[in-house]
């Protein structure tokens, strides 16, 4: 579908301009007039102009989940106010903060104009829209509650974004401390202390024991640096290959679920993701079996995924969902017990929402506690290393002036 540049004035007299796709100039002009705009000019975009590679770095940035979240919120508000889906998509494309997001929203609207459904158009961009979001949108289309489905999708994306932001903020300060400390240490060890060693050797003086120990470590690292680098790279590549190999990924996930601290965080996170996803889908009208298929792909740990698949098979056999979710070192026990209550009371989606809210709050508490514990540990370890380097440096420095014999 061809693209056109336009200039117009809105009801307040403010100038509006941009680029939109339409079947013809007449249809685009009619579309703009339906928005209450006075059309001043509509011109087709030249093919060579559309094919030009932009030098603006912003055009290289991909569309993120935050862009999806903002777009869904905008579209939900516009659809609730009476605008059509196509007009909402075009408006979201115009207001997108990244050019890539504009292109994707335009592509979705074009596919809808060609006869595709909204959910199928979103499914053409699997790297941007998750299966859970697509399923919620599909249910909203069938039930006629698309605005509600868009809001629920945006809420889920917002919760996930806030959770990731909490983790990043908790790890940011220790990471900065570690990086700066490594930089200072490498500068002293590789740049300053070897010069002091040459200076003292030329004057016939021996280095202090602490400085000599540091130099021995430095010389060992320098002598074996190629082998150490090759070993580290080989280990990283082996871990990456194992991670992408299905049996290897399952082995690593099983090991992670047995580690003391990591296991608790992963089980807590998996329980919260499962409960929140299943609650949203059931509340939107998706059947239990279809919801379990979708939620299975939301959980990253393969061992927990297999547990969800086992639970789905138990439901197919006529057993309860709660019985299928029980198991050692899998989901937290509260999940299966609350699911049993929800199944008996006929309020499974409501109970799952409460389970998700509780475990999400607990996950935030655990992350904050770990960040509080990580910071002093990092400071003590890094401070001890940097302190040792500084003492070795100043010992050598005093030795040059005769302060240490």
Q: Which CATH number is 174's domain given?
A: 1.20.81.30
pTM, rounded to two decimals: 0.68
| CA-based nearest residue to 71, from 153, 186, 183 | 153
In a domain? residue 90: no
- CA torsion 366-372-375-381 (nearest 10°) is -90
Do residue 169 and residue 299 come from a single domain?
Answer: yes
- Each of the 405 residues of the chain gets a pLDDT tens digit; together they read 567 778 888 777 777 777 777 777 777 788 888 877 888 888 776 544 444 445 555 566 788 888 999 999 999 998 988 888 888 898 888 888 888 888 899 889 888 888 889 989 998 998 889 888 888 888 888 878 888 889 988 888 888 888 778 777 777 777 787 788 778 777 777 777 677 667 666 666 677 788 788 778 878 877 887 898 899 999 999 999 998 888 898 999 899 888 888 888 888 888 988 998 888 888 888 888 888 988 888 888 899 989 999 999 989 888 889 888 887 778 888 998 999 999 888 889 899 999 999 998 888 888 888 877 877 887 888 788 778 877 877 787 777 665 444
> What pLDDT sits at residue 203?
64
Three-class SS of residue 61? coil
Q: Which two tokens stand for residue 171?
A: 């790890």
Do residue 179 and residue 326 come from a single domain?
Answer: yes
In a domain? residue 386: yes
d(CA 93, CA 95): 6
In a domain? residue 152: no
Q: Domain boundary at 33, 51, 69, which? A: 51
In a domain? residue 102: no
Supply the range of the domain harboring residue 8.
1-51
Do residue 231 and residue 380 come from a single domain?
Answer: yes
Do residue 36 and residue 167 come from a single domain?
Answer: no
Q: Domain boundary at 51, 75, 92, which? A: 51
The length of the chain in residues reads 405
Give burial (CB, 10 Å; 0-12/13-18/19+) of 125: middle
In a domain? residue 306: yes
In a domain? residue 107: no
In a domain? residue 312: yes
In a domain? residue 175: yes
Residue 76 half-sphere exposure toward CB, CA atoms < 13 A: 19
Give the helix ranges, DSSP H, for 191-259.
193-202, 209-223, 225-244, 246-256
Give burial (CB, 10 Å; 0-12/13-18/19+) of 144: exposed
Q: How many domains does the chain have?
A: 2
d(CA 273, CA 271): 6
């Amino acid at each position: 579908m061809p693209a056109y540049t336009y200039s117009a004035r809105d009801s307040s007299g403010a100038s509006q301009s941009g680029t939109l796709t339409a079947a013809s100039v007449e249809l685009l002009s009619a579309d703009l007039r339906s928005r209450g705009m006075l059309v001043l000019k509509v011109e087709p975009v030249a093919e060579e102009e559309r094919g030009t590679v932009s030098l603006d770095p912003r055009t290289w940035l991909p569309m993120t989940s935050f862009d999806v979240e903002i777009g869904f919120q905008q579209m939900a508000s516009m659809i609730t106010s009476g605008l059509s889906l196509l007009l909402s998509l075009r408006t979201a494309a115009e207001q997108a903060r990244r050019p890539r997001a504009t292109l994707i929203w335009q592509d979705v609207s074009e596919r809808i104009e060609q006869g595709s459904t909204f959910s199928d158009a979103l499914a053409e961009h699997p790297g941007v829209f998750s299966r859970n979001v697509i399923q919620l949108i599909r249910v909203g289309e069938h039930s006629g509650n698309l605005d509600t489905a868009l809001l629920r999708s945006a809420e889920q994306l917002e919760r996930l974004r806030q959770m990731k932001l909490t983790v990043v903020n908790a790890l940011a300060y220790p990471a900065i401390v570690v990086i700066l400390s490594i930089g200072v240490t490498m500068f002293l060890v590789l740049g300053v202390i070897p010069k002091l060693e040459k200076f003292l050797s030329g004057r016939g003086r021996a280095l202090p024991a602490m400085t000599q120990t540091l130099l021995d470590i430095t010389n060992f690292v320098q002598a074996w640096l190629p082998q150490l680098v090759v070993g580290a790279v080989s280990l990283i590549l082996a871990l990456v290959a194992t991670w992408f190999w299905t049996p290897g990924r399952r082995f690593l996930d099983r090991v992670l679920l047995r580690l003391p601290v990591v296991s608790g965080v992963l089980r807590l996170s998996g329980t919260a993701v499962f409960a929140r996803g299943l609650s949203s889908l059931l509340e939107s009208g998706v059947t239990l079996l279809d919801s379990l298929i979708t939620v299975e792909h939301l959980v990253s740990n393969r061992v927990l995924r297999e547990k969800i698949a086992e639970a789905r098979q138990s439901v197919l056999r006529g057993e309860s969902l709660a019985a299928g979710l029980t198991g050692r070192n899998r989901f937290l026990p509260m999940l299966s017990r609350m699911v049993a209550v929800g199944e008996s009371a006929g309020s499974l989606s409501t109970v799952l929402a409460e389970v998700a809210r509780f475990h999400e709050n607990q996950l935030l508490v655990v992350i904050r506690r770990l960040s509080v514990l990580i910071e002093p540990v990092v400071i003590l370890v890094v401070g001890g290393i940097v302190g040792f380097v500084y003492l070795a440096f100043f010992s050598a420095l005093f030795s040059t002036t005769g302060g240490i014999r």
